[in-house]
Structure 1
């Protein structure tokens, strides 16, 4: 259990071992369905694993995993799995890049929105939280298992998100190849980060900005909306 605790709490241990922690039966089922390589599975006595796994399963006493996990309501199932190695993006025209996003919950929510909106890859740039932080993994709700984590390869225009500059997202053409760059919660996209154009979200004058995860969700789905094929012309139908 000491090793499991270190994987939960320390990024350097996750990097050194090349493994991360999956917490809870639902997330484990998502990992199995996505083909994630499991190393070990730990189940408290009386807990329901609820999925067949291709890895050693270890039964531990009740309450043991609760001392390891950071989950408020632990469910008695944890696993370790291999961290996929990020690689260059092969194909695709829509990437989301995290440039200094520091909160694991925000990072996981961003990945979830990116996958739901059809992004082909996600990049965790320098200064961003570890994508395999247990809180990030949980907040992604399994989306981290279903999208490549790419290295920072240029994909089309680099569109920086900023609440105070750039074109409103609903008037800007976002149909071409692009990398949506979202920045730190407090400071936004750093000046050193390359950006070709800026995009903003139209908001009521009484609101200064959105949380980075919420803003990214809005922008991702605006990109997805613009890329959807137009609906069929109903006027051509005869009745």
Structure 2
């Protein structure tokens, strides 16, 4: 049986620092993949893995092009990345970011600080067809383990643009703007979503929309609001595309 890596091993120590320290992720250009399902998503998306760590008796669950190390019992549990460890963790190279080359629908986060909200926003954006996501100033590190986990693989499948001034900027506010289902959202646009507590600055958007809700509800969580808006944009675009399809010939 191969020797088990302890918590003091340099590779394991790096894994622990990547879990807890933003500076380590920036310096090394690596992030953490936690759990077999997320590892499978990373492999399928072509993410470059550096090291894979498993607990005794646990398999990665997917063929990986990286060294696989077995760690001592409980070593991954002490990383503190998740409440219920799954016995598999990996380090991977952070994909490069750059300007958006093409696209007509971008989601931009302006000061979204909660990693769970940010990851959920990425997941909704990708599911609704956004071509890129921007983590603007004041937003959480996209490669925070909690963000990666909440995104459920979506971070591996969409470009993280440095800046993407696409079309007009649409902001949302519960107290102003037109209802989102009465605004044409089929053209090129950047959906801008703001900080959980303070929302968006007046200058953040060219046009404001609101989400119709029951009078007893003041507002939605930023991740929930973003999901509603992303899928309203997707709905309108599907509807417009269907309207322009030529009628089928009689058989």
Unaligned runs of 5+ in 2: 1-11
Q: Which runs of 5+ in 1 are unaligned?
A: none
Residue 6 of structure 1 deviates from its aligned partner by: 1.1
Q: Do residues 178 (structure 1) and 189 (structure 2) align?
A: yes
TM-score (norm 1): 0.95
Cα deviation, 1:27-79, whole Å, max 9, x if unaligned, reads 00000000001111111111121100001111112211010132111011000
1:230 aligned counterpart, secondary structure: helix
Structural RMSD (CA): 1.8
The equivalent residue for 1:197 is 207
**Deviates further, 52-61 or 125-134:** 52-61
Q: Deviations over 1:164-188 (max 9, x none)?
A: 1111100000000000000000000
Matching residue within 153, 165, 172 for 1:154 = 165
Aligned to 1:12: 23
The equivalent residue for 1:215 is 225
Matches within 5 A, 1:1-239: 1-191=12-202, 193-228=203-238, 229-230=241-242
Which consecutive aligned stretches of 4+ in structure 1 deviate over 2 angstroms post-superposition?
A: 229-233, 235-239
Give the deviation of 1:84 after TM superposition. 1.2
Work out the CA distance in 2 between the residues paired with 1:123 and 1:68.
29
Is the CA contact 1:98–1:123 (under 8 Å) kept in the aligned structure 2?
yes
Higher mean C-alpha deviation, range 67-76 or range 133-142: 67-76
Range 204-213 or range 1-10, more displaced: 1-10
**CA contact under 8 A between 1:7 and 1:14: conserved in structure 2?**
yes
The corresponding residue for 2:3 is: none
Contact 1:62/1:76 (<8 A) preserved? no
C-alpha distance in 2 between matches for 1:142 and 1:236: 38
Q: Provide the aligned length of Structure 1 versus Structure 2.
A: 237
Whole-Å Cα distance in 1 between the matches of residues 174 and 186 of structure 2?
21
Aligned partners of 2:15 and 2:208: how far apart in 1?
A: 42
Q: CA deviation at 1:26?
A: 0.3
Question: Contact conserved, 2:119 with 2:147, CA < 8 A, in 1?
Answer: yes
